[in-house]
Structure 1
Amino acid sequence: MNRSYPRTLYNLPDDTVEAWLFEPFESRLQVEKAWAARGKNLKLHCAYKSLLHTVLEGQLGKGVNDVVIRYPVIDGDEPQRFRLECYPITGLLDGVVSFEPCKATVTEGELPFYEIVTENVIQRISAPVRWVTSKTQKRQLVACGWVINQQGEGRYLATEFDSIYNDACQYVADLPLLPKNENNGPFFDRLMISIGLPMPDVPLAIGSNAISYIEAMHEDLYFTALEIIEYRLSALNRGKEVLGQIVPEVVFADEPSLLISIEQHSLPSDIENHVSEKVASLNRLEHWLSPLQVLDQLAALSGVRFDAESRQGRPVLGCAVINGAPVKLAISGGQHANESSGVVGALRAAHVLKQRGNVDFTVCPLENPDGYALFQQLCEKNPNHMHHAARYTSTGKDLTCGTSHESLIRGLAKAQLQADVHLNLHGYPAHEWTRPLSGYVPEGFTAWTIPKGFFLICRYHAGFEAQARILLDAAIQAVIGFDAQKQQNIEMLQNFFPIVDGSHFEVAEGVVPYVFSEDNGTDYPIEIITEAPDETVYGEAFMVAHESHYRVVLAVADELAK
């Protein structure tokens, strides 16, 4: 498939008086002025996060003490969806912001709306959405273009943004599901979905947040493509088959375009053809490591090497350092390859534990090298995006769901050492994560849509609750004792809680969010998962992330050694 699309902004119906488009403010403003020069009145709004854009563009709420936002709640939709769409508005307004839910409906020709109340002044702000049935037969309330004509009649307006998405979804829905062979698939090596969008990222004045149609398209298409294929396989009772690597590569371009192709796998050249740049100090690293740098760091541990091979042919390496010590740890990173700070944290902790000599451990710092190679590729054009297409292995599955290739590394580590505790180092988005064309809230990841600082998850087998609680407390204190991380947590939670009504986690001392639960399905009796807001950050923020991973690992080791 190879298509170009007319830009809706320049092809509005002649009788338009008001419209909502997926366009940044400056582009809309220029077109308004061009129409005014021809004697036509035109008002253009943003179809994505409409209330936030209205506040930003109209400077509403500046200098007022209190702001009440009444948001629509629509039957069949995520109840907090329109409240979440306001993020990060509480950090952008001067006054205290409170929210009130209001029952609403979506009817033909009409839009649901917010009401923003400031000093007894009420302003309505429309939220352009429509009900659709997805390719997985789910009813979804999705963001859309909208147009009002001179007679005051409103209707859905197809835009290049949702047209590209819909065409890509149709392609995936029609894709033949014939594996390369009957035994192991996959259906394709790499499904490339190349998209050009003439919509630059617009940074916001809160953390690393930005308005990014490019990132939103990447996220929506990647997970929707996975869902469509898995839905089709499930209908055929073939749900366990290998998919292949889905890669939406969305970039800024002057003209909207869509190119879909299936690429054949070739042996990776990213390791063989590159020279490893030596790392002067892991402690002050401001950037993710290259695969060769990871290999060099592992070799420096001089432990017992064990390895698997990824589906694309890259080495998946682990190292065991065993001296007969009473404390036994398993350390891993890079399971989800776009979560890159854990790779550094794992290696830093391994070097210190090696020097101390009082802990036996295995370390597998980069469990998903195929995903990691894709992550680095995607970062070349969009360095600050989340890049969830690199989250899973090149089989299209989470590493823990596989039974071959890189998935074998966990079993190999356990064969080397029956550890007491698994330190599983992860990350999550450092800014808001949305899927506007499939319901806004990422399906299956509702808890991770807005950053809330460095997060801890502790899971334990039956009979290990008391010990797990002690180790979790040690991890919590390690985070609280790190001033830079403590401050980041406080700031992120201050922006999180006003937006989210209720949460799935507890907060220790008002600083460290965590979850503590029994789970007999983990590989080791106790598992502590660290979640740093690291998708995708650099500089000081990256250093804070890997320093926190590192401190948690050492705190748990110290507690076990008592």
Structure 2
Amino acid sequence: MSLLDKSFDRTLDAWTHAYMAPAWRGAVVEGWVFEGVDARRAAQAKLEQAGVTARFRSAYKPLVHFFLEEVERDGLVSAEIRYPLHEHAQAKRFTLEAYPLVALLQDVRVTMAPGADDLHYDVRLSYADGSTIETRVFAPNQLGHAPDGTPELSPTGWLRVQDADGAVQTDAAQATEYQLLFRSILDTVRSHTWGAHEPYFDRLEIRVDLPGIDFALPVDEEIVSTFEALHEDIYFSLLEHFQQHSGRPSGDRGLQPGQIIPDIRRHDGAPRVRISVEPFAPVVPVTP
């Protein structure tokens, strides 16, 4: 039984198309999306051909991507980092998002200390030749609410645009396809009428096709993957929903809602999500 089949606009394509218009020649566009570096640089090149200066960065693990994409690491001796604090985020939230930066910078002295509450990492880089660089790395987040109404800070797309005269036309959070399809999955499952007794289904299949980030780091077997992150977010968010639906107390491990099966796949076209409830395959007897 199908519960949802929905496609979404690809945010990076939509922004590129919008700012290639002649009216934006001379503009400066900065954006943060949940896409890999190749796709982001290709979009920058298209806008450059239209006379627009563009820089698209990763909204996922922004500090890690900053060091991978923008920092000259040859001769780097130390990195002093002040990470953001926010009243609606755990104290170590932004240090966890920076994992595994310390291991990535193996021969660099890395120190991390709490900083301001304006969603920026303050970074001071020192080099062997005595030079230093001080900069700020934006960590785009938006304040929303968890299902129980608790304020919740979560990563978001962001768009910052100055026109040719230098006037700021927009500087605000933008819901990307990554966020929109995740919300549509939760909304669909929460609004569906489930039974009163476990299990509520045999198999709840969630197929997601979307662009994203997925690459290995030269550190043990670490990978940076929005696909893996989305898989975990979907699975545990739905598990939490069915925990509440069952009336079981938080932490009760007896929950048996059925099999929740997120299937997240890379796709460079229009993002799409499909949700269906499926029966178990019939048992085929084994002939001796």
If the length of structure 2 is used for normalisation, what is the TM-score? 0.84
- Name the aligned partner's letter for residue 154 of structure 1: D
Deviation at 1:39, TM superposition (A): 0.8
Deviation at 1:235, TM superposition (A): 8.8
Deviation at 1:42, TM superposition (A): 0.9
1:102-141 correspondence to structure 2 within 5 Å: 102-105=115-118, 112-119=119-126, 120-141=132-153
| Per-residue Cα deviation, 1:492-539 (whole angstroms, up to 9, x for no partner) | xxxxxxxxxxxxxxxxxxxxxxxxxxxxxxxxxxxxxxxxxxxxxxxx
Aligned to 2:88: 76
- Name the aligned partner's letter for residue 221 of structure 1: I
Aligned to 2:11: 8
Q: Which among 148, 152, 159 is matched to residue 147 of structure 1? A: 159
Distance 2:117 2:148 in 1: 26
Aligned to 1:46: 58
1:147-296 correspondence to structure 2 within 5 Å: 147-150=159-162, 151-152=167-168, 153-179=170-196, 184-199=197-212, 201-234=214-247, 242-255=256-269, 256-268=271-283, 272=286
Deviation at 1:272, TM superposition (A): 5.0
Contact 1:135/1:173 (8 A) holds in 2? no
Could you list the structure 1 runs, at least 4 aligned residues long, displaced by more than 6 angstroms after superposition.
Answer: none
Deviation at 1:54, TM superposition (A): 0.8
Contact 2:63/2:98 (8 A) holds in 1? yes
- Name the aligned partner's letter for residue 225 of structure 2: S
Number of aligned residue pairs: 261
Determine helix, strand or coil for the equivalent of 1:35. helix
Deviation at 1:121, TM superposition (A): 2.2
Amino-acid identity (%): 29
Deviation at 1:198, TM superposition (A): 2.2
Sort the Cα spacing of 1:132 and 1:254 in 2 relative to 1 into closer, same or farther, 3 A: same
Deviation at 1:131, TM superposition (A): 1.0
Deviation at 1:200, TM superposition (A): 5.2
Q: Which among 86, 91, 97 is matched to residue 103 of structure 2? A: 91
- Name the aligned partner's letter for residue 230 of structure 2: M
Deviation at 1:157, TM superposition (A): 0.9
Deviation at 1:66, TM superposition (A): 1.4
Contact 2:243/2:255 (8 A) holds in 1? no
Determine helix, strand or coil for the equivalent of 1:216. helix
Sort the Cα spacing of 1:177 and 1:100 in 2 relative to 1 into closer, same or farther, 3 A: same
Contact 1:61/1:118 (8 A) holds in 2? no
1:463-502 correspondence to structure 2 within 5 Å: none
Determine helix, strand or coil for the equivalent of 1:125. strand
| Per-residue Cα deviation, 1:55-113 (whole angstroms, up to 9, x for no partner) | 100134431211111101111311111111111111222311011111414xxxxxx10
Distance 1:164 1:95 in 2: 39
Q: Which among 66, 69, 75 is matched to residue 63 of structure 1? A: 75
Structure with higher RCO (Cα < 8 A, 6+ apart): 2
Contact 2:115/2:122 (8 A) holds in 1? no
Q: Is 130-139 or 39-48 further displaced after alignment?
A: 130-139
Contact 1:199/1:252 (8 A) holds in 2? yes
Determine helix, strand or coil for the equivalent of 1:65. strand
Distance 2:32 2:82 in 1: 20
Structure 2 gap ranges (5+): 127-131
Distance 2:283 2:214 in 1: 31
Highest CA radius of gyration, 1 or 2? Answer: 1
CA RMSD of aligned residues (A): 2.3
Distance 1:186 1:162 in 2: 28
Aligned to 1:313: none
Sort the Cα spacing of 1:21 and 1:90 in 2 relative to 1 into closer, same or farther, 3 A: same
Distance 1:138 1:177 in 2: 25
If the length of structure 1 is used for normalisation, what is the TM-score? 0.44
Aligned to 2:129: none
Q: Which has the higher helix share?
A: 1
Q: Which has the higher strand share?
A: 2
Deviation at 1:236, TM superposition (A): 11
Deviation at 1:140, TM superposition (A): 1.6
